[in-house]
């Protein structure tokens, strides 16, 4: 029995404009055809295995008001040592707790539920509506409490704003929504944690809006349960002379897909787009990126590095588009994959679509095993083979980890990667 009905969307709490927006989305969703692998953008995905009707809508009301301060489990990577400005805990799509409001108000900034934000109606969908698809519409219809991070013009927030999404209800579908707006010449760093403790369907939508000369660092840390599914959409709009560093660390999920669109809409806008991903067991990690250069003198630099072991799979498909007016564009796209076992599989498909001649663009992709010559070099110095492989795989990720926009998280990410790698190597042995 499909629970994702117009009535169900309409019954969610919130102001009237939000209820109307949800109803309209639910109607569009009801009329839409589910995607299939026949469509190019779902070609390598596991979408054929998704049985949406088998999930019930997460009953957020049951968890609201019962803040689970740990939110996510203790395995979540921490940022010991870095200053934290605010922490928002979201359980099954409901805001369970917000800490740090006082510090933010002092700077004129807001972090919390959408309904409490000033000018809320103009915020929701302002970035993602330009990139709608089947699952963003589903999120539009069923996100119970969107979370807003709103940083006003000129405000510089030094600490990290942490938003922890935890899918707690087993067998449920939840729809986290995060909207980040950074005003003119403002600056912020956001850590968005996605976690689940069991089988679940999580459909997050993230909107990042970086105003003129603003600076935003955004790190998505995905540590879902291996039985959980994630189908995420991250959409960013970067305005004149603004810069975005958008990164993801993807470790969990049975099938975890992230579509990341970056639209450089103002002259001189730039985006550094980074990802580290590591699949083991029978995980499938699926990434689609879109670097859309829609203004002159814009720069995007994408570096996605992943590893797959056991019988895990990864898919990377990326498109750089340079629109006719985007002269002076610099656009780079690099995807490298390590295949750590015979049964693992990685696909890498880079694409360019260039409609202006005055551009510098390049793309590179690679899929291969750990370099045997590198292993031999270390072995010939007396480093045991499994240790040599571990060092080389860890080193492979280093250039991305060093560039992550949240400082002090590097050690945690390295540790999580090494734990996963050691588990995998011990299976293989």
Residue ranges in contact with other proteins by CB under 8 A: 372-374, 376-385, 387-388, 391-392, 394-399
Q: 17 vs 377, which CB is nearer to other proteins?
A: 377
Residue 408 CB-density burial (10 A; 0-12 exposed, 13-18 middle, 19+ buried): middle
Question: Residue 311 Cβ, how far from other proteins at the closest point, in Å?
Answer: 25
Question: Residue 403 Cβ, how far from other proteins at the closest point, in Å?
Answer: 13
Q: 81 vs 382, which CB is nearer to other proteins?
A: 382
Q: 64 vs 394, which CB is nearer to other proteins?
A: 394
Q: 148 vs 409, which CB is nearer to other proteins?
A: 409
Q: 1 vs 429, which CB is nearer to other proteins?
A: 429
State phi, psi for 377 to the nearest 5 degrees. -60, -50
Q: How many residues does the chain have?
A: 429
Question: Residue 386 Cβ, how far from other proteins at the closest point, in Å?
Answer: 10
Question: Residue 211 Cβ, how far from other proteins at the closest point, in Å?
Answer: 36
Q: 368 vs 384, which CB is nearer to other proteins?
A: 384
Question: Residue 124 Cβ, how far from other proteins at the closest point, in Å?
Answer: 41
Q: 33 vs 373, which CB is nearer to other proteins?
A: 373
Q: 65 vs 382, which CB is nearer to other proteins?
A: 382
Question: Residue 217 Cβ, how far from other proteins at the closest point, in Å?
Answer: 23
Q: How far apart are CA 329 and CA 323, in angstroms?
A: 9
Question: Residue 59 Cβ, how far from other proteins at the closest point, in Å?
Answer: 45
Question: Residue 385 Cβ, how far from other proteins at the closest point, in Å?
Answer: 6
Q: How far apart are CA 293 and CA 314, in angstroms?
A: 26
């Amino acid at each position: 029995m499909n629970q994702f009905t117009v009535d169900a969307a309409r019954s969610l709490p919130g102001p009237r404009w939000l209820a109307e927006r949800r109803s309209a989305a639910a109607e569009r969703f009801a009329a839409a055809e589910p995607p299939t692998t026949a469509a190019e953008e779902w070609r390598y995905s596991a979408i054929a295995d998704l049985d949406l009707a088998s999930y019930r809508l997460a009953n957020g009301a049951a968890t609201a008001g019962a803040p689970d301060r740990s939110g996510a489990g203790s395995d979540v990577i921490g940022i010991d040592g870095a200053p934290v400005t605010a922490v928002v805990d979201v359980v099954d799509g409901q805001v369970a707790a917000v800490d740090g409001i006082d510090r933010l108000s002092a700077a004129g900034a807001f972090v919390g539920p959408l309904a409490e934000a000033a000018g809320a109606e103009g915020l929701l969908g302002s970035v993602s509506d330009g990139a709608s698809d089947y699952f963003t519409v589903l999120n539009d219809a069923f996100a119970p409490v969107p979370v807003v991070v709103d940083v006003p013009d000129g405000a510089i927030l030094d600490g990290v704003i942490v938003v922890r999404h935890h899918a707690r209800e087993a067998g449920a579908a939840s729809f986290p929504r995060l909207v980040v707006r950074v005003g003119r010449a403002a600056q912020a760093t956001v850590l968005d944690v996605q976690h689940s403790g069991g089988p679940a369907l999580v459909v997050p939508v993230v909107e990042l809006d970086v105003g003129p000369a603003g600076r935003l660092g955004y790190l998505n840390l995905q540590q879902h349960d291996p039985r959980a599914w994630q189908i995420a959409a991250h959409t960013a709009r970067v305005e004149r002379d603004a810069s975005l560093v958008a990164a993801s660390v993807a470790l969990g999920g049975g099938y975890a897909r992230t579509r990341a669109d970056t639209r450089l809409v103002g002259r001189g806008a730039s985006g550094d787009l980074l990802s580290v991903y590591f699949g083991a067991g029978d995980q499938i990690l699926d990434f689609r990126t879109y670097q859309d250069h829609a203004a002159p003198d814009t720069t995007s630099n994408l570096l996605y590095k992943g590893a797959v072991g056991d019988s895990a799979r990864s898919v990377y498909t990326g498109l750089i588009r340079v629109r006719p007016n985007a002269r002076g564009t610099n656009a780079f796209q690099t995807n490298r994959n390590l295949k750590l076992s015979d049964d693992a599989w990685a696909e890498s498909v880079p694409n360019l679509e260039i409609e202006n001649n005055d551009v510098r663009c390049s793309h590179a992709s690679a899929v291969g095993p750990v370099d045997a010559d590198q292993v031999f070099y270390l072995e010939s110095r007396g480093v045991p083979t499994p240790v040599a492989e571990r060092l080389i795989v860890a080193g492979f990720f280093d250039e991305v980890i060093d560039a992550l926009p949240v400082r002090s998280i590097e050690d945690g990410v390295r540790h999580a990667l090494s734990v996963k790698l050691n588990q995998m190597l011990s299976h293989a042995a």
